[in-house]
Structure 1
Amino acid sequence: MKKRVIVCGSTFGQFYINALQQLLSDDFELVGLYGKGSERSKKCAETYNIPLFTEFEQIPEVDFACVVISSGTVGGIGTELACKFMEKKIHVLQEQPIHPRDLTETYRVAKKNGVYFKTCDLYPKLPEVARFIRVAQELNKHEKPLYIKAAFGPQVSFPAIDILSRILPSVYSLTVEHITECVGPFDILTGKLGDTPITIEYNNQVNTDDRDNHAHLLHNFAIVYETGRLILEDTFGPVLWKPRMYVPKYLYNPEKRNEIPPYLKELTMETLGNYKAKDFMHVLFDDWKQGIADNIVEFSKMIDQKVKLAPYAQRELLCSQKWSEITNIFGFAKLIHPEGNEYIPSAQIHKYSEEV
């Protein structure tokens, strides 16, 4: 029997609608969209051919709700709505970021009503982010990270902490040593994760008229090991491995150059996996959709298998607390007011790169 699902929120909620309709229709029935009744909500319901519910009491019986609305402490009604569903014995999958105070309340209400609650962790399920996490976890079994560099902005800071926590549980012990503000568009934090140095480049800017745009990047991570550097160039990849160069002294003797060690035959850089560059439309409407679908399926299995919620709750609360601490340290984003979108076609950049 198909599980009945309601999506709440018509902005990012459209990605959930796409996932349910295009990838999960065999196992899930999307019963409709819950929204305020804005023009966008009406157009979404019409475009996706689903009912629009503007009053909570109108929502028919469902198995779980996808709440894709800002949580309470960041100015939305997401927390209130999630709790309202759970009081009706309906499981809830909620979009991040969620403040620790809100998260504590939602898990309390979930436990009281014997239902499941979880935040959607889209970014760690994106192909290249997942690859970066896997490789880092394996490398960590062999050698200790010597240094970490992370770069991200406020809009994706919650998943940035989530990604780091999967690689380095010591992220929860972050200590801050120094912050330099306004280094161009970035604030720079230096500190330590346990005894491992870390630098965070924080793109602490926001356009209040267009909050989802004008970031200089989503995520960039680099982990330095004794043997080389592992890099996630961007949220959408690639994942790079750059072996450390070592030239033994004996090779400076010409007669010894036939004795080449295997590490000198390594490429100076490896692009890991089957990476292929994708356009923005593909990553937005295919990769994100698949990541959300994976979250929905995982959440459904948790419910069916009666998985213990406590370990998930503990991990999410720790992640949320560290996210809250870090964003408080950086303070309010600086307001910017760019005019439109500056754009240089990649074909033009390729021309610049041509050999002279």
Structure 2
Amino acid sequence: MKRVVVCGTKFGQVYLSALRDGPFELTGVLARGSARSAAYAQEYGVPLLTDPDQVPELADLACVVVRSGVVGGEGSELAGALLARGVHVLQEHPLHADELARCLRTARAASAVHHVNTLYVHLDPVRRFIETARRLFELQRPLYVDAACSVHVAYALFDILGRALGALRPWTFTAPAPGTPFTCLTGTVGGVPLTLRVQNQIAPNDPDAHLHLLHRVTVGTEGGSLTLVNTHGPLVWSPRMYVGRDADDRFDTGADHLRLPSASTIGPAHAPTFHDIVTSVWPDGVRRALSELRQDAEEGRDPLRQGQYHLTLSRLWLDATAAIGRPELLVQTAPRPLSAAELT
């Protein structure tokens, strides 16, 4: 089970790139027939499809990289049409819980599998953060989460937190403190106190760009804090600073823990370049997500196995976005990114 059709060619170009090499085989591009989609189909040497009825004879798996209804697209309708035809579907996030529930019902009825892909949880730096956080929480309980993200990727942030903490419930959100460019939201996720700053801005002239950041996450325990500096790393451990007093009421500078570095990287000390992120890191994440879908499909697993978690995730995200409110609309021009060398 390796034949894949990609539906959509905007962000879908990342999925297409993921299929240049094995273990999957790209067998078609499903789109509305734009010049861009036709060019991609020609580049990859596969047919350009325009009807979901054409997919089952060409593919076992489909990547639906089309906006869902909650963000103004028809991706969930397309996913449902493919599932009803027995095609297993990997659908790009976010999804409204009602859309997801319909897809899961359709998948179950057709003995197909539906997965939501939040992408970032499949990237090596985020996986390292999740795995390290879980080891940390085996030693000490989490005391707080301090995070920041763009509104574009808040859904994925909550997935990262749910996997790191081991739970999404219970969650609460208080009325945010308005601000520009960040809105501050407080509450709990998985019962752990949360402070979240969200860049609640969208530029309609370029809606997927102009993010100040994707994700930055710190989880804290009694013994220190673990920080994912940004979505693509690095990961930094900072032991908690504590200088006790000796018998003479002086700083006890001989304590063993004072010899710990005040901050250490776990894994690579440097994050990848943006070129490598788009051409290598993200495609690797797509392949990992597709591998999970294929495994569940081959083993005949109930789509609700993963679906229940994503239903909860969607409801949490809906509550958070309702608390944050409508995004500020901007008209932006392309920024000029600075290098570190320019600052020294």
Q: Deviations over 1:287-337 (max 9, x none)?
A: 101010111111111111223433311111101111111111111110111
Which residue of the other structure, out of 102, 108, 112, is the alignment partner of 1:111? Answer: 108
Q: Residue 164 of structure 1 aligns to which amino acid in structure 2?
A: L
Contact 2:95/2:314 (CA < 8 Å) preserved in 1? yes
Partner of 2:336: 342
Partner of 1:99: 96
Q: CA deviation at 1:38?
A: 1.1
Which stretches of structure 1, 4 residues or more, deviate above 4 A after TM superposition? Answer: 251-257
Unaligned runs of 5+ in 2: none
Q: Residue 117 of structure 1 aligns to which amino acid in structure 2?
A: H
Which residue of the other structure, out of 43, 48, 60, is the alignment partner of 1:47? Answer: 43
- Decide whether aligned partners of structure 1 residues 255 and 313 sit closer, same or farther in structure 2, where only a CA change above 3 A counts: closer
Contact 1:172/1:319 (CA < 8 Å) preserved in 2? no
The residue correspondences of 1:190-269 to structure 2 (distance < 5 A) are 190-193=186-189, 196-250=192-246, 260-269=254-263
- Decide whether aligned partners of structure 1 residues 165 and 248 sit closer, same or farther in structure 2, where only a CA change above 3 A counts: same
Q: Which whole-Å CA distance do the structure 2 matches of 1:194 and 1:44 have between them? A: 42
Q: Residue 14 of structure 2 aligns to which amino acid in structure 1?
A: F
Q: Which whole-Å CA distance do the structure 2 matches of 1:51 and 1:308 have between them? A: 31
Q: What SS is found at the alignment partner of 1:181?
A: coil
Q: Residue 126 of structure 1 aligns to which amino acid in structure 2?
A: L
Partner of 2:124: 127
TM-score between both structures, scaled by the size of structure 2: 0.94
Moved more, 34-43 or 45-54: 45-54
Partner of 2:15: 16
Moved more, 190-199 or 280-289: 190-199
Contact 1:67/1:92 (CA < 8 Å) preserved in 2? yes
Q: What SS is found at the alignment partner of 2:168?
A: helix
Partner of 1:354: none
Contact 2:140/2:221 (CA < 8 Å) preserved in 1? yes
Contact 1:153/1:218 (CA < 8 Å) preserved in 2? yes
**Does 2:312 match 1:318?**
yes
Name the % identity: 34
Q: Which whole-Å CA distance do the structure 2 matches of 1:228 and 1:256 have between them? A: 19
Give the aligned length.
343
Q: Residue 296 of structure 1 aligns to which amino acid in structure 2?
A: L
Q: What SS is found at the alignment partner of 2:204?
A: coil
Q: CA deviation at 1:154?
A: 1.6
- Decide whether aligned partners of structure 1 residues 123 and 35 sit closer, same or farther in structure 2, where only a CA change above 3 A counts: same
Unaligned runs of 5+ in 1: 352-356
- Decide whether aligned partners of structure 1 residues 345 and 239 sit closer, same or farther in structure 2, where only a CA change above 3 A counts: closer
Q: CA deviation at 1:212?
A: 1.2
Q: Residue 47 of structure 2 aligns to which amino acid in structure 1?
A: P
Q: CA deviation at 1:251?
A: 8.8
Q: What SS is found at the alignment partner of 1:171?
A: coil
Q: Which whole-Å CA distance do the structure 2 matches of 1:221 and 1:72 have between them? A: 28
Partner of 1:4: 3
Q: What SS is found at the alignment partner of 1:212?
A: coil
Contact 2:173/2:320 (CA < 8 Å) preserved in 1? no
Q: CA deviation at 1:159?
A: 0.7
**Does 2:137 match 1:143?**
no
Q: Residue 15 of structure 2 aligns to which amino acid in structure 1?
A: Y
Q: Which whole-Å CA distance do the structure 1 matches of 2:271 and 2:173 have between them? A: 36
Q: Which whole-Å CA distance do the structure 2 matches of 1:163 and 1:155 have between them? A: 14
Moved more, 205-214 or 53-62: 53-62
Q: Deviations over 1:21-47 (max 9, x none)?
A: 22x2xx432111011111211221222
Q: Residue 85 of structure 1 aligns to which amino acid in structure 2?
A: L
Partner of 1:34: 30
Q: What SS is found at the alignment partner of 2:178?
A: strand
Contact 2:60/2:87 (CA < 8 Å) preserved in 1? yes
Which residue of the other structure, out of 294, 312, 326, is the alignment partner of 2:288? Answer: 294
Contact 1:175/1:191 (CA < 8 Å) preserved in 2? yes
Q: CA deviation at 1:61?
A: 3.2
Which residue of the other structure, out of 333, 336, 341, is the alignment partner of 2:327? Answer: 333
Q: CA deviation at 1:97?
A: 0.7
Moved more, 231-240 or 245-254: 245-254
For the aligned residues, what is the CA RMSD? Answer: 2.0
Contact 1:151/1:200 (CA < 8 Å) preserved in 2? yes
Contact 2:245/2:252 (CA < 8 Å) preserved in 1? no
TM-score between both structures, scaled by the size of structure 1: 0.91
Moved more, 138-147 or 99-108: 138-147
Q: Which whole-Å CA distance do the structure 2 matches of 1:200 and 1:4 have between them? A: 40
Q: CA deviation at 1:253?
A: 7.8
Contact 1:228/1:242 (CA < 8 Å) preserved in 2? yes
Q: CA deviation at 1:195?
A: 5.2
Contact 1:178/1:191 (CA < 8 Å) preserved in 2? no
Q: CA deviation at 1:87?
A: 1.4
